[in-house]
Amino acid sequence: MKKLFLTNYEYISNSDLPVNLLRRSPQPDYPLHSHEFSELVIVYAGHGVQITADGDYEVSCGDVFVVDCMMSHGYRDTAGLKLVNIIFDLKNLESPLSDLPLFPSFHLLFSLSGKLKPTSSPRVGLRLNDAQIETVMAVVDAMETELLDKPVGYRMMLTAQFMQLATLLIRCYEHQPQSEQNSQVTGLAAVLGYINRNYRKKITLKELASFANMSESSLNRMFHLAVKESPINYCNQLRIHKAIILLLNTELSVSEIATTTGFEDSNYFSRSFRQIIGESPRQYRMNNCPAE
């Protein structure tokens, strides 16, 4: 059977509104598929099996997980399974979410959920209790009302509600019993939060491994499995990304931006920028900032 591919055009038709909501009540069996967008899944009734390219997971009421863009997944053996798919484009929501990557719980849900194989048990995801489901679903219901009625300012309201929902779920993660969390995965999430908080400083693999209470080789292996690159490369990518924001939104010089984003000198910054982006910081600024 040919795998389905779902596009942003079909499900996020308005670029000014990078959030959509689809309630599946019930969710039927559905073949393997992937999509351009990411999907926050909240299971509020029933049970079933989520199938992925790397293996299968049992899902049931209270499970919350993120299906990253391009990840193949589907459902089988569903029995009264009811869920909400909240479709979002993380790139276009990055500014409102800017503080959340500082916290490990954000990475447990949004960066690592679905990124590691089922052998990394328990599953990387969140399990809500009954009271938490009620609180979370109240926000979901409010989002659905905004989408259906489209009152004045509904785009702004929906974005704010998604921020509220993301924050609620991350707070729930903070209160999840440690016995339900995989120690290596929580260590990896802690490293991601640490890098996002400290990217302006010099960071070494030895320092990160010590912080995560893992060997350097184990951290490298886990990082490659989940993030598809090394911790140091991730740190440099983050620095370049922060530099792009400064290039486009400030009048700081290239040397000042290099220092601000944690690079040792402007020459190394320019070489790294060109290697990742394909042009120099000055060229990027000239090509992407409209002339006054």
Proportion of the chain above pLDDT 70, given as a percent = 83
Name the more confident of 111 and 17: 111
Q: What is the pLDDT of residue 93?
A: 63
Residues 167 and 212 in one domain: no
What is the tally of structural domains in the chain?
Answer: 2
Domain end (from 178, 208, 229): 178
Q: Taking residues 89-95, what's their average pLDDT?
A: 65
Q: What band does 4 get if pLDDT is binned at 50, 70 and 90?
A: low
Residues 226 and 277 in one domain: yes
CATH at 101: 2.60.120.10
What ranges make up the beta strands (E) of 7-166? 19-24, 30-35, 38-52, 55-60, 63-67, 73-88, 126-127
Q: What is the pLDDT of residue 186?
A: 82
Range of the structural domain that residue 95 is part of: 4-178
Q: What is the pLDDT of residue 175?
A: 79
Residues 158 and 203 in one domain: no
Q: What is the pLDDT of residue 119?
A: 45
CATH at 251: 1.10.10.60
Residues 80 and 169 in one domain: yes
Domain end (from 178, 211, 237): 178
Residues 207 and 81 in one domain: no
Residues 211 and 152 in one domain: no
Residues 169 and 189 in one domain: no
Counting every residue, how long is the chain? 292
The predicted model scores a pTM of: 0.78
Q: Taking residues 63-83, what's their average pLDDT?
A: 88
What ranges make up the beta strands (E) of 37-161? 38-52, 55-60, 63-67, 73-88, 126-127
Question: Is the preceding peptide bond at 122 cis, omega within 30 degrees of 0?
Answer: yes
